[in-house]
Amino acid sequence: MRYQHAIDRRQFLALAGSTTLAAGLGISPAAWAASPRQSLTVGTRIIEVNGKAATVFGITDVKGRSGLILEAAGGFNVSLTNATDVATIMHWHGLTPPFGMDGNPLSQQPIAPGASMDFSFDLPRGGTNWMHSHMGLQETQLMAAPLIVREGEPQMQEVVVLLHDFSFTPPEETLATLKGKGAAVVGSGTAGMNHSGMTMNGTDGATAMPGMNMGGMAMGGMGNMDMDLNDITFDAYLANDRTLTDPEIVAVDKGDTVLLRIINGAASTNFWIDLGQIEGTVKAVDGMPVQPLRGSRFGLAMAQRIDIEVTMPIDGAAVPVLAQREGDIARTGIVLAPTGATVTKIAAAADTQSAPVLLELERQLLAASPLSAKPVTRQIMAMLTGDMQAYVWGIDGRTFDNRQPLEVAKGDRVEITMHNMSMMSHPMHLHGHHFQVVGLEGQKVSGAMRDTVLVPSMGMVTIQFDADNPGEWPLHCHNLYHMAAGMMTIVKYV
């Protein structure tokens, strides 16, 4: 059974992209129409976490592999079947399809249990992307998978790492606890909850406070600001479904260069990617190329991706690729290991708590292909607002139900300045477009092209994009619990 509304829209779009019609209009035919349709199935599965069985969702291709690997030239031609017993909506995070193909609650009706929906559109470029449910709290139950788009044969071995945070507590219960017991969150012993607050001085202090106590400790000095990190404590942090108790060991060759495609699929966790003693070269963020940047530690906010080239040591040593939760000792990761390498056990708890993820990386990134020079024709200020006690989050003081759309017109160069008036950081995601980061705390930059940017507590980030894809596009916080508590609006073409 196919959902009728969805199929109507699909048929229209399929027709609009069909070879015959395209030829009649004198435009090149859609690439997707010439490539075989791929099947994806959303199902349930059982994984082992901390020695206990956990029933979670999964998204697999015909060969049972998680997610999809596509060739950009072949376009996106996918039939998604919902084999679970709950309705769902699947979002293609990082792709910029026509509105009806985006997979969000405004663009389609949910896909009922047992039903399928076809998605077809062309892909302008390769990149590290992902797919995840955009319905309810399903994403946190691992309804998420990699969506890798390649341009030609890989130049080197590629290693995909999907990070996640995991809880045995049903997410509805976690959200109810957050909403119902806001006052008890701070410093309480509520099961599953651990609110870590901190006070820090000055601007980015990330490197200035290794090992600091995040339990509400105050650091002296003028200009202090408060910051809340991690309003949920999870039971485990996963890299490709596994914890550091039994991490994935990826076979590589000593001296070889491999491409890490790391996806932060966590519902409510910003990570520090840590290569230890090894330096890597960042090649892309959010599937969009950046000017090469060397380093060994990189902040990765919820929903963001980072592509890092890593050259294995010639002595044949293994290289752990770790992801440590911000403001926490908890970590996960994988190990790159040449044949015969000694793989030592890595504790799931680091020795020291990590700093908050702020704008350190963002300040260093430069787009490899920035937006064209063009005057801004539409300027928007969006306040990111929240009430930690009531656990209500919003944009301009409004929750999604009460939203005031941000209006743009096709052809606009749009600039949105997001000013965070709350004590938590928010990874803000715009559907249907890539934007360029052009301002950080009021300073002009020619930053990365992205689809998700972190706006730190009390911080300000400015983005620009070309309004070239009509629709009513969600703009929301990618902290799943913040979004569920209202932090979403729409960018509406008028």
> Rule CB under 5 A: which residues touch Cu ion?
426, 477, 479, 482
**Nearer to Cu ion (CB atom), residue 354 or residue 479:** 479
Question: Which lies closer to Cu ion via its Cβ, residue 115 or residue 144?
Answer: 144
**From the CB of 393, what's the least distance to Cu ion, in Å?**
6
User: Shortest gap between Cβ of 265 and Cu ion (angstroms)?
Assistant: 16
* Of residues 115 and 477, the one with the C-beta less far from Cu ion: 477
* Minimum distance, C-beta of residue 481 to Cu ion, in the bound complex (Å): 8
Of 464 and 479, CB closest to Cu ion: 479
DSSP string over 444-490: E----EESEEEE-TT-EEEEEEE--S-SEEEEEESSHHHHHTT-EEE
**319 versus 388: smaller Cβ distance to Cu ion:** 388
Q: Does residue 488 come out as left (phi exceeding 0), alpha (psi in the -120 to 50 range) or beta? A: beta
CB of 487 to Cu ion, least distance (A): 5
Distance in Å, CB of 433 to Cu ion, minimum: 20
Measured from the CB atom, is 433 or 482 closer to Cu ion?
482
Question: By the 8 A CB rule, do 195 and 228 touch?
Answer: yes
And the tokens for 37?
């349709």
Minimum Å gap between C-beta 479 and Cu ion is 4
CB of 428 to Cu ion, least distance (A): 8
CB of 431 to Cu ion, least distance (A): 16
Asked whether the CA dihedral 239, 240, 241, 247 is positive or negative, the reply is negative
The closest alpha carbon to 435, from 459, 461, 410, 456, belongs to 461
Q: Is 432 left (phi over 0), alpha (psi -120 to 50) or beta?
A: left
- Could you tell me which residues are beta bridge partners of residue 319? 336
Q: How far apart are CA 128 and CA 333, in angstroms?
A: 18
- Name the residue among 466, 475, 260 with its Cα closest to residue 370: 466
Tell me, rounded to whole angstroms, the distance of Cα 482 from its chain centroid. Answer: 14
Rounded CA-CA distance 437/363 in Å is 10
Amino acid at 175: L
Closer of 138 and 479 to Cu ion (Cβ): 479
Measured from the CB of residue 99, what is the shortest distance to Cu ion in angstroms? 24
* 120 versus 479: smaller Cβ distance to Cu ion: 479
In 3D space, the residue among 410, 450, 447 whose CA is nearest the CA of residue 433 turns out to be: 450
Closest CB 364 distance from Cu ion, rounded Å: 23
Could you tell me the CA-to-CA distances from 282 to 307, 321, 391 in Å, in that order?
6, 14, 36
Measured from the CB atom, the residue of 66 and 462 that comes closer to Cu ion is: 462
Report CA-CA distances (Å) from 330 to 269, 336, 349. 11, 20, 5
Closer Cβ to Cu ion, 59 or 302, answer by number: 302
Q: How far apart are alpha carbons 323 and 305 in whole angstroms? A: 13
Q: Which is nearer to Cu ion, 229 or 323 (CB)?
A: 229
Which three-class secondary structure state does DSSP give residue 324? strand
Closest approach of Cβ 416 to Cu ion, in Å? Answer: 16
Q: Which of 126, 429, 61, 165 is nearest to 259 (CA)?
A: 126
Tell me the three-class secondary structure of 209-230, residue by residue: CCCCCCCCCECCCCCEEEEEEC
